[in-house]
Amino acid sequence: GDSVTQMEGPVTLSEEAFLTINCTYTATGYPSLFWYVQYPGEGLQLLLKATKADDKGSNKGFEATYRKETTSFHLEKGSVQVSDSAVYFCALTLNAGNNRKLIWGLGTSLAVNP
């Protein structure tokens, strides 16, 4: 079945370090891919998305490229800040009429130290 696999956390980095959070997926058809972020004590927020192969989503210095050949959507940021400390979720959706549900990864916790 359709699934999303994320690297396990927690990930701990120093400020200004480079970040990569791996995400791979299994899906029939052509999914849209998403990264959501959850800051402490809050609900999830959409961070970025990509709808087709080779699309690059970007927001707030984060980027992810939809790689169909490797079924991946890795999240990257060149220089993390303390304020990026959060849990990051990779997700996919397949357009299917009324069955509009996201398939989620388990989340990766990121802690950035000053």
Partner 1 sequence: DAGITQSPRHKVTETGTPVTLRCHQTENHRYMYWYRQDPGHGLRLIHYSYGVKDTDKGEVSDGYSVSRSKTEDFLLTLESATSSQTSVYFCAISESDSSGEKLFFGSGTQLSVL
Binding site for partner 1 (CB under 8 A): 31-32, 34, 36, 41-46, 49, 51, 89, 93-95, 98, 100-102, 104-107
Please identify, using beta-carbon distances, which residue of 66 and 77 lies nearer to partner 1. Answer: 66
Q: How far is the CB of 37 from partner 1 (least distance, A)?
A: 11
Q: How far is the CB of 36 from partner 1 (least distance, A)?
A: 8
Please identify, using beta-carbon distances, which residue of 53 and 78 lies nearer to partner 1. Answer: 53
What is the C-alpha separation between 41 and 75, in angstroms, rounded? 22
Query: How far is the CA of 114 from the CAs of 14, 55, 71, in angstroms?
Result: 6, 33, 34
